[in-house]
Amino acid sequence: MSDGTTEATEAEAAKAEAPGTAATTPDGTNGTVGTPGAPGAPGTEQAKPTPTLLLTRSPGPAELDPDRARRRRRTLEITLGIAVPLLLLLWWQLAVQQKWIDSRIYPAPQTILEDGWKRLVDGKLWPDIWATLKRVVPGFLLGSLAGYVVGLLTGSIPLVRAALEPMLDALYVVPKLALLPIFLLIFGLGETPQIMLVAVTVFFLIWIQTMAAVLAVPEGYREAATVFGASQWQMYRHILIPASLPPVVVGLRLASGMAVLVIVASEGLASPNNDGLGYLIFNAKNIFDQKAMYVGIITVAVVGVLFSELVRLIGRLLTPWAPDRRGPGGS
């Protein structure tokens, strides 16, 4: 009995000495023995709460007036697009005048512009421009149409893709200029080999872009059309063609540049009537007429830009639902 009483007394004493526990005070009441430094303990102060930091953000000019900010951004982009080429031309002109570069190889821009303007006024440049366009445009249209149709079929019908894709992949990697002798043997001398060369070049670019666009159409679109009982033609008309056209328009712009590039090289190798911008450039190089050569190069650049912009505008008319993205600063 004495041992049990002693253990109970020691337990009560230990409980009374534990910090933050209830203990009997000398006056017979229960109190709380606080831990020094703890919140709420006798003889200590509570820590002050840390003030909350509020982050505020004022709207910027682009948010206050989006239209004005967009116009300013577009004006800046146009200014930079014009200023950079002009600065390069000014540096070129200065380099020729200061004899930093040989004017026999690099004529001054002023001299090139004067020669080009004279050729335009005299009517010597227009026949070459027309000869190039009458080869590029038909080849571009033929290659685009064929590439789009084959792309739709290979993208939507697995068996057609399995049958044609390996062969077309193998032909795609063949340099297109290497096909020119074959076209000359098949079609003979004339405009047809040039047109077919452009058509084949454009065909592969549009085929790949169209097939990829059709394969990227979400499966949910197809399933929804199937649930509503859409026929095969309705599937193409309302699902596949609208979904694939915006990426195809991008491919058409790329193909337009490649078409101009290929026809210039082809005319330099085998122009049927000794005309065209390609013939002008290569012939001027052979007779060391550097001014005419640079006039041809600049004319090709202008024709290529105008052709690409025309394709973009037509693409906007065909796909009004697609965003117009010209690049990182598209408008």
DSSP state letters, 215-272? HTS-HHHHHHHHHTT--HHHHIIIIIHHHHHHHHHHHHHHHHHHHHHHHHHHHHHH-T
The pTM score is 0.72
What DSSP state is assigned to residue 323?
-
pLDDT at residue number 318: 85
Contacts of 148 (CB under 8 A, 6+ apart): 206, 207, 210, 248
pLDDT at residue number 147: 94
CA torsion through residues 187, 193, 199, 201, sign: positive
- Which amino acid is it at 10? E
pLDDT at residue number 137: 93
pLDDT at residue number 144: 94
Which residue in 277, 246, 313, 316 sits closest to 136, CA to CA? 277
* Angle in degrees, 0-180, between the axes of helices 66-97 and 109-122, rounded to the nearest 10: 100
User: How do the pLDDT tens digits run along the chain, 331 residues long?
Assistant: 445 444 444 545 444 444 444 444 444 444 444 444 444 445 555 566 666 777 777 777 777 778 888 888 889 989 998 999 899 989 998 998 888 888 888 888 888 999 889 988 888 899 999 999 999 999 999 999 999 999 999 988 899 999 999 999 998 988 888 888 899 888 888 889 999 999 999 999 999 999 999 888 887 777 787 887 877 788 888 888 888 888 899 899 999 999 999 999 998 888 888 888 999 999 988 888 888 899 999 999 999 999 999 999 998 888 887 766 554 334 4
- Which amino acid is it at 155? G
